[in-house]
Amino acid sequence: MLSKDVAAPQGPLSDKLGRPLRDLRISLTDHCNFRCVYCMPKAVFGTRYHFVGHDGLLSFAEIERLVRLFAGLGVSKLRLTGGEPLLRPRIEELIASLAGIEGIEDIALTTNGSLLTQAKATALRAAGLGRVTVSLDSLRDATFQAMNDVGFPVAKVLAAIDHAHRAGLPVKLNMVVRRGLNDEDVVPMAEHFRGTGHVLRFIEYMDVGNMNGWQPEDVVPSREIIERIASRWPLEPVEPLRYGEVAKRYRYQDGAGEIGLISSVSQPFCGSCTRARLSPEGRLYTCLFGTAGTDLREPLRAGDGDEAILDLLQRVWGLREDRYSELRNILRARAGKEKVEMFHIGG
């Protein structure tokens, strides 16, 4: 039985499980200047790994055209991600063009913060970026550097968060919690971001891709995270504002703001998943744990008209019945197809 928190909105297009298409996550590149152990472990993604080459990437014009078509099918929210999306030069030009598309109400960016200077944050805001999510897994350099595996210091990510805030961008923080690696950092992170207005979101470590060596016992269930934080600062649940909200939200009873929990492993939310994902080379995935995408670049470059591409998008979404997280145990037990990697289609 699929769970739905809030009634599904009506839209022009629904999948086989009645879920509308609302969000598009666009991975702008599969390159990254970090090698987070849970995402792109260095041993696998070293100098010999083949990333998408420049000509293989969707151009900004191709992305804009696709977004226009997706908007016509009900997409109103975009998230730019990667890899590290700020590695893509002149990303603000893309944002400005996407912000002008009718029906697009919200453009967000997920970044590791390493390239988020004050000038960049200001330019992104001016171009029409609505908000930013910065990933940060620990406040301790030793732990954070062991997790990003390129020796990137915490202070520079904290500076990036300030830059975004000063540029007027609402900020959320993503912290992936992996048992034995950074679960001791849950309460210090909560303490640091309480009262700042930035929403810290704890993400259960997921079995995305095929390379991160995920084991169920590495996951710290959200329930445990809530208990640890609530034993210091009492929390109360916040009702979801809209259908398909990924994070379960809690507020501090003392008024110090909110936290979010993304519990893809312990409390899957496939029942209201309205997200499509576009890979850097233009493949459309209908699930974060997808094994095969649909090539949109080929028809774009072959000169297909809008009608033909719209028809393809409608067919793909209409046939969608993904709910990997709800079926994780069954699907993991099945040998076979490899899943797309997280850095390839973004979070």
Per-residue x/- mask for ligand SAM, residues 173 to 192, rule CB under 6 A? -x-x----------------
Residue 109 sits in the site that holds ligand SF4 (CB under 6 A): no
Q: Which of residues 167-226 bind ligand SF4 (CB under 6 A)?
A: none
Task: Quote the least distance from Cβ 85 to ligand SAM, whole Å.
Answer: 6
- Rounded Cα gap, residues 186 and 34, in angstroms: 22
- Rounded Cα gap, residues 44 and 46, in angstroms: 6
Residue 341 sits in the site that holds ligand SF4 (CB under 6 A): no
Q: What share of the chain is helix, strand, coil (3-state, %, to 5)?
A: 35, 20, 50
Distance from chain centroid for Cα 307: 29
Q: Which of residues 52-111 bind ligand SAM (CB under 6 A)?
A: 81-82, 84, 110-111
Q: Of the ranges 180-188, 225-233, 248-256, 264-272, which one interacts with ligand SF4 (CB under 6 A)? A: 264-272
| Complete edge-to-edge strand list for the sheet that includes strand 248-252 | 235-238, 248-252, 258-262, 199-204, 171-177, 131-135, 106-111, 77-81, 23-27, 275-278, 283-285, 294-295
DSSP state, residue 324:
G
Residue 287 sits in the site that holds ligand SF4 (CB under 6 A): yes
Strands, E assignment, 47-193: 77-81, 106-111, 131-135, 171-177
Check: CB of residue 67 under 8 Å from CB of residue 104: yes
Residue 112 sits in the site that holds ligand SAM (CB under 6 A): yes
Q: Of the ranges 117-125, 198-206, 237-245, 324-332, which one interacts with ligand SAM (CB under 6 A)? A: 198-206
Give the pairing of strands 258-262 and 248-252.
Answer: antiparallel
Per CB under 6 A, the list member of 270, 316, 340, 345 interacting with ligand SF4 is 270
Total site size for ligand SAM, rule CB under 6 A: 21
Task: Quote the least distance from Cβ 126 to ligand SF4, whole Å.
Answer: 25
Per-residue x/- mask for ligand SAM, residues 202 to 221, rule CB under 6 A? -x-xx-x---x---------
Residue 84 sits in the site that holds ligand SF4 (CB under 6 A): yes
Between 102 and 217, whose beta carbon lies closer to ligand SAM? Answer: 217
Q: Which of 138, 167, 131 is nearest to 152 (CA)?
A: 138
Check: CB of residue 259 under 8 Å from CB of residue 319: no
Task: Quote the least distance from Cβ 176 to ligand SAM, whole Å.
Answer: 4
Q: Is 26 in a helix, a strand, or coil?
A: strand
- Tokens 């919690």 belong to 177
270 binds, among ligand SF4, ligand SAM, none (CB under 5 to 8 A by kind): ligand SF4
- Rounded Cα gap, residues 231 and 9, in angstroms: 37
Check: CB of residue 56 under 8 Å from CB of residue 281: yes
325 binds, among ligand SAM, ligand SF4, none (CB under 5 to 8 A by kind): ligand SF4
Residues that bind ligand SAM (CB under 6 A): 32, 38-39, 81-82, 84, 110-112, 135, 174, 176, 203, 205-206, 208, 212, 342-343, 346-347
Residues that bind ligand SF4 (CB under 6 A): 32, 34-36, 39-40, 82-84, 112, 135, 264, 268-270, 273, 275, 287-289, 322-325, 343
